[in-house]
Amino acid sequence: MEAEKRTFVEAAIALSFEAMDSNRGGPYGAVVVQAGEIIGRGMNEVTSVNDPTAHAEMTAIR
């Protein structure tokens, strides 16, 4: 179980680096997990899409 959690955290970290590398936003990434699978991925895009609600968690949920 801990290895699985680590995989999810690493996926979110990878998204944060992608956000920074692509100048989409700050260094934030998020994943939504259900039944042991990633069903949503998102990164901070507040400044790149001019949307104050485009935080990583919200983009992952959307």
Q: Is residue 2 flagged as an active site residue?
A: no
Place of tokens 């935080």: 55
Asked if 44 and 56 count as a contact pair (C-beta separation under 8 A), the reply is yes
Structure tokens at 20: 């920074």
| Active-site option among 2, 18, 45, 57 | 57
Asked if 45 and 59 count as a contact pair (C-beta separation under 8 A), the reply is yes
Q: Which residues are catalytic?
A: 57
